[in-house]
Homo-oligomer: A and B are copies of this chain.
């Protein structure tokens, strides 16, 4: 158990945007929301999952929608509170603590803001260990936990509740409502007991985000290579060094789909790379070879600062280092790969762990 305030939030926001793999929302917007909340209501207690009583009720709070939209349609701070309270009423039981559904610039910050306002602890865990675009893409789902009952709010004052037969239906219905509400909405869903959380969650994600952010911040001070610092703290591998030569991005109201093209620099001069995304980065290629695929994390970092480049902020000419980070082991099971592997996203590619792909390429 420890307190998190402005400094921790600053680091966490940066680290969460790294693990957000291009998606998860704008870290600047998220950070401002969380900082404002702790300034107004006081610092937030971060609980180690082991400190959560087995029978306690834990409910993640998150934003749903295309990041493209959320950059302009900023939550007003009331929606997480409203959706959370609506679900608490629906469950008829007091919620003990909140947590992140995923690591991401906004979705790691909303639970902090909510915890501050509501005066409850935040649990050091999430349900992905990264960001994914769809609602059934959680380790809770892999463990048979249902996302409903769910409450969803918009900033206008509309509230929807949902009970479904499975998490794919929850995704379909909540997504349609989010689109109608204007492209983003705030959720309270996947209520779990402390016991379920300890078994089915990805534990320690908030601290991991903080460590990544801290490594980047300290590298800037100590003149250490910041990308190397990120690789050290995440166990990641360098995939490509290049500059952005093209970006295609299309938002259908539900998701932002697109691809970024890179031209090699330095050791990768003469090579070309490509990253395809659906909110989050899905597949990376170097010429005809696959560099990495979901569920492993594919991340673009600014070459100089190692600050993460989100799907929304990819710009022509930017110098970036593409890195890969092995995903949580729960995603490397057959059910995990079926749920979030490359084939789910429409790519006819086998999932091979990123570290094996890198090893293979080095042996050629």
CB <8 Å contact, B156 and A173: no
CB <8 Å contact, A160 and B161: yes
- Count contacts on A: residues with CB < 8 A to the other chain: 19
Q: Chain B residues with Cβ under 8 A from A161's Cβ? A: 160-162
The residue that A165 contacts in the complex, of B157, B160, B163, B179, with Cβ under 8 A, is B157
A73 at the interface (CB under 8 A from B): no
Q: Chain B residues with Cβ under 8 A from A158's Cβ? A: 162-165, 169, 173
Identify which of A158, A162, A175 gathers the most chain B CB atoms within 10 Å of its CB: A158
For A150, give the chain B residue with the smallest CB separation: B160
A176 at the interface (CB under 8 A from B): yes
CB <8 Å contact, B165 and A162: no
A85 at the interface (CB under 8 A from B): no
Contact A159/B169 with A176-B177, A176-B179, A176-B180 known, Cβ cut-off 8 Å: no
Q: Chain B residues with Cβ under 8 A from A165's Cβ? A: 156-158
User: Interface code A162-196, partner B: CB below 8 Å = 1, 0 otherwise?
Assistant: 11110001001101110111000000000000000
In the bound assembly, the distance between CA atoms of A177 and B179 in angstroms comes to: 11
For A162, give the chain B residue with the smallest CB separation: B160
Min C-beta distance of A172 to chain B, whole Å: 5
For A160, give the chain B residue with the smallest CB separation: B162
Min C-beta distance of A333 to chain B, whole Å: 27
Q: Chain B residues with Cβ under 8 A from A169's Cβ? A: 156, 158
CB <8 Å contact, B160 and A160: yes
Q: Chain B residues with Cβ under 8 A from A160's Cβ? A: 160-163, 173
Identify which of A165, A169, A173, A175 gathers the most chain B CB atoms within 10 Å of its CB: A173
Min C-beta distance of A356 to chain B, whole Å: 39
Q: Chain B residues with Cβ under 8 A from A159's Cβ? A: 162-164
Min C-beta distance of A170 to chain B, whole Å: 8
In the bound assembly, the distance between CA atoms of A175 and B177 in angstroms comes to: 9
For A156, give the chain B residue with the smallest CB separation: B165
CB <8 Å contact, A177 and B181: no
In the bound assembly, the distance between CA atoms of A162 and B150 in angstroms comes to: 12
In the bound assembly, the distance between CA atoms of A40 and B223 in angstroms comes to: 81
- Contacts A/B (CB < 8 Å), 6 sampled: A158-B165, A158-B173, A160-B160, A160-B173, A161-B162, A177-B177
Q: Given contacts A159-B163, A172-B180, could you give 16 more A-B pairs where the C-beta distance is less than 8 Å?
A: A156-B165, A157-B165, A158-B164, A158-B165, A158-B173, A159-B162, A159-B164, A160-B160, A160-B162, A160-B163, A161-B162, A173-B180, A173-B181, A175-B180, A176-B177, A176-B180
